[in-house]
């Protein structure tokens, strides 16, 4: 128990500490693993000499639940956890989820909706003047005015509603240490307006900053919000980003400083080499353990940041577009430690990050001048300056495979197929097929309509088709029969029923129905969510078709899984509305089997179905060596 950070005052006192420097309040259960933001920030503070107490999943209905350690010497740190609490609680159809993987036994309901706001106000009820710093994914992506899907409204900065003094946004290692040092020197938190990667509240507009449209203006005119979002998007870069100020009338301004600079490799190693227990606190053993640990216990984070630029992803706003990596030595050290675990079976489940095969910045200038504000590295075409090179990743994977007692090293966090295609050396794809895939490779083309893909910030469909062909070649070269399992998304801004039908036809031609289909989920601070709310593409200021009607969204989703009998009526309705009744009938191309038919036609259809099933069974047996 003494190897975990204290969760009770008695444990704190056993360390000879009567008052902690910080108290960390979190919506997740306490898991001391570097895949959890809570673990990184608390271990980093401990490393630099600060004492920290953990209050995980306090009872938000009782204000004494945040008083476990009394008043901290320097301040409270508050996070909703690894997920936005609303995404954690609700499906895209706004139905309650049944399980919470970040809670003991997967039990739902141990954190409140909008957890950062609730925890912040709970603390402020008792500790009127104690500094409160909020952070993590929920606070980061709600740091300025944002569209809230669950209330279908534009909400103001979470800083104002939480009662907090500062937001430490993004990956907060740099900013949290600067805040801690300033508070330790006796500086008042109300004066900390200079720290990169933070958001603060002030009465006066900052000198030299960009004044965004006011909250009142954005509520009155959605186009103003689209304009504001584009300015934010262009200033989320540490090297060139400007100070942004958002007016709230007589409440003053919420001011965002530019992001913190990315960590060097030495700093990344320091963060991941801290003495994590790499598991959940023992107090959860009898409560059913913490399900989330199963996915990441034997996985290794090798990088952070992503220059992929998908518009429906918030990574650019949180981790940034500059890729940061750990050294081979740091990663190998972690892998060797895994082999000493009693439950390690020889399989490293993943070596990656947001995108597994990004092991260096997109181009050499990024670490000196930052990323381009007006263009993407991979979209719509790979930039001519892109350094598409897998050499370092290949060397790392080879070293991991050679560690004694390691049987297999998987890559499960996803690769960018367009980045793979941009690499002129085919060796990565061949080694991927030979060593790092177990029958199925999961990739995310998302759609097949180039128009929809352009709204997503994804490459044209032909790039994915080329990747499939190259992966097949790599499999033949290695003598393996492996398959690509694609992820598709329905109802993204710009996607019409005709686009959805086109995707359904592609699924038909693939020969199998995707098991996982994701409806577009409008989460805070993504380009796609801005489109969804405003009906405008912030990049071009042009109008975008938005499928917001729940029934249409259900039809788009059903089309991708048209073989499911439960989807039959929805698919039929969608085909009629899209003017594609040619796909209803008894021809082989038809998605819905229906209409006037002869006895012979029915027999022919049943016969062809049986033949296809037999062929599939033979192929399965052949793959299994039967």
492-512, pLDDT tens digit by residue?
A: 999 999 999 999 999 999 988
20, two tokens: 């902690």
Span 125-146, pLDDT tens digits: 999 999 999 999 999 999 999 9
How many Å apart are CA 139 and CA 115, to the nearest integer? 10
pLDDT, residue 282, reads 95
Give the chain's mean pLDDT: 94
pLDDT, residue 396, reads 98
- What share of the chain has pLDDT > 90, as a percent? 88
Instruction: Report whether pLDDT(80) > 50.
Output: yes
Please name the residue that has the structure tokens 């608390």: 42
State the pLDDT confidence band at 618, using cuts at 50, 70 and 90: low
Q: What is the enclosing helix (H) or strand (E) of 566?
A: none
Contact criterion met (CB below 8 Å) for 173 and 41: yes
CA 49 distance to own-chain centroid: 31
Binding site as annotated, residues = 306, 310, 313
How many Å apart are CA 39 and CA 21, to the nearest integer? 16
Average of pLDDT values for 237-265?
96
Binding site as annotated, residues for [4Fe-4S] cluster = 306, 310, 313
How many Å apart are CA 326 and CA 304, to the nearest integer? 9
Query: Across 378-505, where does the E strand assignment appear?
Result: 408-409, 440-446, 483-490
Contact criterion met (CB below 8 Å) for 492 and 452: yes
Instruction: Report whether pLDDT(601) > 90.
Output: no
How many Å apart are CA 489 and CA 155, to the nearest integer? 26
373, two tokens: 């504000």
pLDDT, residue 373, reads 86
544, two tokens: 């975008």
Please name the residue that has the structure tokens 């990663």: 331
State the pLDDT confidence band at 516, using cuts at 50, 70 and 90: confident
List C-alpha distances in Å: 536 to 119, 212, 308, 531, 540.
Answer: 35, 18, 22, 5, 8
450, two tokens: 């180039």
* 170 secondary structure, DSSP code: S
List C-alpha distances in Å: 309 to 13, 416, 446, 463.
Answer: 47, 11, 14, 16
172: three-class secondary structure by DSSP: coil
Contact criterion met (CB below 8 Å) for 502 and 449: yes
Nearest by Cα to 362 from 419, 435, 436: 419
Instruction: Report whether pLDDT(568) > 80.
Output: yes
Q: Tell me phi and psi for residue 281, to 5 degrees.
A: -65, 140
Q: Which residues of 164-186 are buried (b: 16+ CB within 10 A; e: fewer)?
A: bbbbbbbbbbbbbbbbbebbeee
442: three-class secondary structure by DSSP: strand
Nearest by Cα to 176 from 12, 26, 24, 19: 24
Nearest by Cα to 443 from 434, 454, 432: 432
State the pLDDT confidence band at 413, using cuts at 50, 70 and 90: confident
CA 242 distance to own-chain centroid: 25
63, two tokens: 């204000």
pLDDT, residue 517, reads 83
Residues 6+ apart with CB under 8 A from 464: 417, 443, 445, 486
Instruction: Report whether pLDDT(445) > 90.
Output: yes
Average of pLDDT values for 159-175?
97
44: three-class secondary structure by DSSP: helix
Contact criterion met (CB below 8 Å) for 547 and 491: yes
Contact criterion met (CB below 8 Å) for 503 and 448: yes
Instruction: Report whether pLDDT(89) > 80.
Output: yes
The residues with which 24 forms a beta bridge, in sequence order, are: 54, 77
Instruction: Report whether pLDDT(311) > 80.
Output: yes
Contact criterion met (CB below 8 Å) for 42 and 79: no
Tell me how crowded residue 12 is: count the other CB atoms within 10 A of its CB.
Answer: 22
Instruction: Report whether pLDDT(187) > 60.
Output: yes
6, two tokens: 């204290």
Residues 6+ apart with CB under 8 A from 91: 97
Average of pLDDT values for 453-480?
96
Q: Tell me phi and psi for residue 304, to 5 degrees.
A: -145, 160
120: three-class secondary structure by DSSP: helix
Q: Phi/psi class of residue 406: alpha, beta or left (left: φ > 0; alpha: ψ in -120 to 50)?
A: beta
Span 370-409, pLDDT tens digits: 899 888 999 999 999 999 999 999 999 999 999 999 999 9
pLDDT, residue 194, reads 95
How many Å apart are CA 216 and CA 156, to the nearest integer? 10
404, two tokens: 């004694």
Contact criterion met (CB below 8 Å) for 504 and 562: yes
The residues with which 200 forms a beta bridge, in sequence order, are: 166, 255
Average of pLDDT values for 511-516?
80
Span 193-221, pLDDT tens digits: 999 999 999 999 999 899 999 999 999 99
DSSP output for 183-237: HHTT--GGG----TTEEEEESSPPTT-EEPPPHHHHHH-HHHHHHHHHHHHHT--
In the chain, DSSP finds a helix count (H) and a strand count (E) of 24, 24
How many Å apart are CA 446 and CA 459, to the nearest integer? 10
State the pLDDT confidence band at 514, using cuts at 50, 70 and 90: confident
Nearest by Cα to 521 from 490, 566, 564: 490
Q: Tell me phi and psi for residue 371, to 5 degrees.
A: -85, 160
Instruction: Report whether pLDDT(450) > 60.
Output: yes
* 63 secondary structure, DSSP code: G
Contact criterion met (CB below 8 Å) for 447 and 503: yes
């Amino acid at each position: 128990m003494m190897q975990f950070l204290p969760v009770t005052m008695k444990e704190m006192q056993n360390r000879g500490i009567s008052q902690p420097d910080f108290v960390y309040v979190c919506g997740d259960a306490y898991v001391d693993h570097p895949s959890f933001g809570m673990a990184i920030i608390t271990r980093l503070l401990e490393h630099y000499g600060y004492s920290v107490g953990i209050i995980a999943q306090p009872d938000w209905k009782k204000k004494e639940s945040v008083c476990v350690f009394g008043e901290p010497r320097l301040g409270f740190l508050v996070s909703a956890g690894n997920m936005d609490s609303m995404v954690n609680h609700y499906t895209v159809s706004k139905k309650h989820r049944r399980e919470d993987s970040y809670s003991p036994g997967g039990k739902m309901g141990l954190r409140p909706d909008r957890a950062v706001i609730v925890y912040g106000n709970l603390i402020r009820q008792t500790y009127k003047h104690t500094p409160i710093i909020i952070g993590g994914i929920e606070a980061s992506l709600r740091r300025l005015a944002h569209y809230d899907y669950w209330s279908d409204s534009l909400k103001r900065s979470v800083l104002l509603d939480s009662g907090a003094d500062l937001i430490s946004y993004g990956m907060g290692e740099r900013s949290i240490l600067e805040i801690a040092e300033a508070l330790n020197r006796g500086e008042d938190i109300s004066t900390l307006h200079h720290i990169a990667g933070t958001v603060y509240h002030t009465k006066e507009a900052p000198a030299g900053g960009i004044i965004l449209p006011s909250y009142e203006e954005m509520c009155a005119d959605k186009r103003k919000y689209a304009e504001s979002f584009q300015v934010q998007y262009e200033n989320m870069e540490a090297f060139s980003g400007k100070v942004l100020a958002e007016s709230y009338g007589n409440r003053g301004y919420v001011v965002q400083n530019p992001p913190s600079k990315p960590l060097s490799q030495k700093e990344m190693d320091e963060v991941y080499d801290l003495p994590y227990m790499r598991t959940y606190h023992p107090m959860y053993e009898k409560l059913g353990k913490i399900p989330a640990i199963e996915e990441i216990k034997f996985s290794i984070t090798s990088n952070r940041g992503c220059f992929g630029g998908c518009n429906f992803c918030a990574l650019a706003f949180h981790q940034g577009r500059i890729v940061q990596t750990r050294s081979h030595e740091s990663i190998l050290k972690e892998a060797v430690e895994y082999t000493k675990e009693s439950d390690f079976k020889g399989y490293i489940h993943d070596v990656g990050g947001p995108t597994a095969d990004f092991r260096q910045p997109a181009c050499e200038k990024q670490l000196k001048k930052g990323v381009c504000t007006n263009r993407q590295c991979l979209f719509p075409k790979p930039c001519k300056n892109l350094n598409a090179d897998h050499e370092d990743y290949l060397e790392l994977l080879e070293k991991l495979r050679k560690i004694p007692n390691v049987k297999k090293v998987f890559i499960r966090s996803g690769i960018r197929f367009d980045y793979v295609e941009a690499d002129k050396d085919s060796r990565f794809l061949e080694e991927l097929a030979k060593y790092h895939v177990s029958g199925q490779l999961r990739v995310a083309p998302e759609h097949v309509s180039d128009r929809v893909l352009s709204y997503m910030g994804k490459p044209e469909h032909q790039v994915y088709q080329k990747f499939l062909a190259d992966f097949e070649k790599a499999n033949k070269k290695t003598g393996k029969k492996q398959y690509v399992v694609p992820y598709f998304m329905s109802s993204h801004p710009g996607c019409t029923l005709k686009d959805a039908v086109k995707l359904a036809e592609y699924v038909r031609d693939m020969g199998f129905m995707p098991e996982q289909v994701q409806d577009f989920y409008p989460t805070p601070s993504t380009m796609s969510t801005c489109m969804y709310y405003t009906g405008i593409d912030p990049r071009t200021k042009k109008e975008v078709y938005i499928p917001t009607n729940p029934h249409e969204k259900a039809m788009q989703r059903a089309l991708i899984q048209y073989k499911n009998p439960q989807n039959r009526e929805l698919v039929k309705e969608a085909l009629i509305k899209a003017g594609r009744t040619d796909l209803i009938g008894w021809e082989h191309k038809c998605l819905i089997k229906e209409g006037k038919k002869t006895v012979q036609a029915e027999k022919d259809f049943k016969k062809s179905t049986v033949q296809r099933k037999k062929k599939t069974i033979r192929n399965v047996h052949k793959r299994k060596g039967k």
